[in-house]
Amino acid sequence: MKVLLRFGLSFLCLIVGFAPSRGQAIGGASSGMISSSFSPTLFQATVQFPGAARTSQAPTTLNLEQAIQLAIENNLETLRAREQRREAEGIKQESLAGLLPNVSGAAYQANLTQNLAALGFRPGAFGLRSTFIGPFNNFDARLRLAQSIFDLGAIRRFQAGQAGVTLAGLREELAREQVATVTALAYLEALRAERAVAAAEANVELARALLRLAEDQRNAGVATGVDVTRAETRLAEEQLRLAQAQTAAEQARLNLKRIIGVPLEASLTLTDQLRFVSEPLPSLAEALAAAAQNRREILLAEQQVKISALERQAASAEQLPSVEFVGDYGTSGITPTDTALPTRRVAIQLNVPIFNGGLTRGRIAVAASRQRQAELELDSIRRQVEEDVRLAFANLRTAEAQVRAADESVRLAERELEMARDRFQAGVGDNLEVVNAQTALANAREAQVTALAVYNAARLNLASALGRAEKFRW
């Protein structure tokens, strides 16, 4: 999640830093054209994120909540995390086996001979003329039971296994948060691209209207051919930008489909809108407290410290005695039906470690070092989370101001264009002022779309910083 939060902040900075800038007004120093969207930046940042398994049926309409749920259900990251949780449950079961009874059974029927001399007996012992005896039959069938009565090391290992299941569950939740963040960013980019297409279409229609005005003025003898050519050039530029915006929108839709697992050929209608939603913010202290409670990175690090401590205790417990009950019960004889009698053994066994070549000491040193590393990592993550929250607050305030400024810029640019067009219609001058005002309006519209995207990305970034990306809505 730390990477995704950093990406969210970079997303904002890239939008602001590389916001498309149109050429200067005709008659100025330059009229060069730059791509009209920041979608390649977002696409390149999310394209490496694992896609989702392909769903059998694709919805025809899609809101953000549906997109997040589809991605969580099908994305490789969440599927892998789910399997890792099952793996952790298996490891816990393995550790539990050291505390549960161990029951086994065995039976055999043997025919054998024996050399008593190998056991130290001389010929004539026990009245036997030879030390070689047999062949003779031997039968035995019994159940064996072993039960740990006290083994502190096994207890600590089981507790570490339990904590490992909790850790795997937190990792699954973190994967869901990461997938939700990436999906929301991809959905946001698709909305921004659609809005950019709409703005580009409006600019094309405006350019056509101004071209018709220039032609009418020329036919009336008020304007010149230069005015018409100037308007035609502007229309061609806007048509090119529209084509670029449409390509970027298609790219954004494909990226979103890949992330949520929808077939790339499916037709999707996004039902949410790119809009400004002013919402009350918690205080910084409340936000920091919420992040400390909800951020999976902190919970994961805390759980890792707990596991490391249990593993250290388990290693230390290897120096302590352990007590075990062992016993068996069965039948032994020549054959199952010949002289077979029930026999048993019951014992309490005390195991006392004395010296194992320094193996236990080495394990304790390793476990202690891992615990210190986990504690250092926890402290670093807590600081990082606090930085994420503070930065998210600052970016959101800046983005909100940017939206209001962009809205005002559009209003002023529309007024400027209206005044320039009135002057041109009145024959006061040529259409240079009109084209310049048209350029300013196009830039203002584009900046407005960018500002809305930045603002909603900042909202998402704050939700991610608080550990609530999965619940984020427009």
pTM for the model: 0.78
Q: What are phi and psi of 34, to 5 degrees?
A: -125, 150
Check whether 264 has a pLDDT greater than 60.
Answer: yes
Residue tagged 């913010």 (tokens): 281
Check whether 194 has a pLDDT greater than 70.
Answer: yes
Domain contains 145: no
**What is the predicted pLDDT for the residue at 54?**
55
Domain range enclosing 25: 2-99+151-317+364-471
Domain contains 134: no
Name the least confident of 121-125, 294-298, 457-461: 121-125
Name the least confident of 33-37, 78-82, 283-287: 33-37
- β-bridge mates for residue 51, sequence order: none
Check whether 14 has a pLDDT greater than 70.
Answer: no
Q: Give pLDDT tens digits for 362-394.
A: 999 999 999 999 999 999 999 999 999 999 999
**Closest to 72 in 3D by CA, of 168, 181, 191, 190:** 181
Check whether 177 has a pLDDT greater than 90.
Answer: yes
| Burial tier of 267 (Cβ tally within 10 Å: 0-12, 13-18, 19+) | exposed
Counting every residue, how long is the chain?
Answer: 474
Token digits of residue 79: 């599927």
Domain contains 119: no
Distance CA 301, CA 298 (A): 5
Query: How does residue 37 score in pLDDT terms, banded at 50, 70 and 90?
Result: very low
Check whether 127 has a pLDDT greater than 80.
Answer: no
Domain contains 433: yes
Query: How does residue 3 score in pLDDT terms, banded at 50, 70 and 90?
Result: very low
Q: What integer is the mean pLDDT of 243-262?
A: 96
Domain contains 123: no
* Cβ atoms < 10 Å from Cβ of 15: 23
**What is the predicted pLDDT for the residue at 396?**
96
Q: Give pLDDT tens digits for 311-321.
A: 999 999 999 99
Query: How does residue 50 score in pLDDT terms, banded at 50, 70 and 90?
Result: low
**What is the predicted pLDDT for the residue at 21?**
39
Check whether 124 has a pLDDT greater than 80.
Answer: no
**What is the predicted pLDDT for the residue at 9?**
44
Q: In what order do the strands lie in the sheet with 132-150?
A: 102-115, 132-150, 322-333, 341-351
**What is the predicted pLDDT for the residue at 49?**
58
Domain contains 262: yes
Domain contains 20: yes
Distance CA 163, CA 92 (A): 9
Average pLDDT of the chain to the nearest whole number = 87
- Do 465 and 389 contact (CB within 8 A), yes or no? yes
Domain contains 138: no
Query: How does residue 119 score in pLDDT terms, banded at 50, 70 and 90?
Result: confident
Helices 152-219 and 296-317: crossing angle in degrees, nearest 10, is 160
CATH code of the domain covering residue 292: 1.20.1600.10
Half-sphere exposure of 324 (CA within 13 A, CB side): 19
Q: How many domains does the chain have?
A: 1
Q: How many helices (H) and strands (E) does the chain have?
A: 10, 6
Distance CA 399, CA 16 (A): 10
Check whether 345 has a pLDDT greater than 90.
Answer: yes
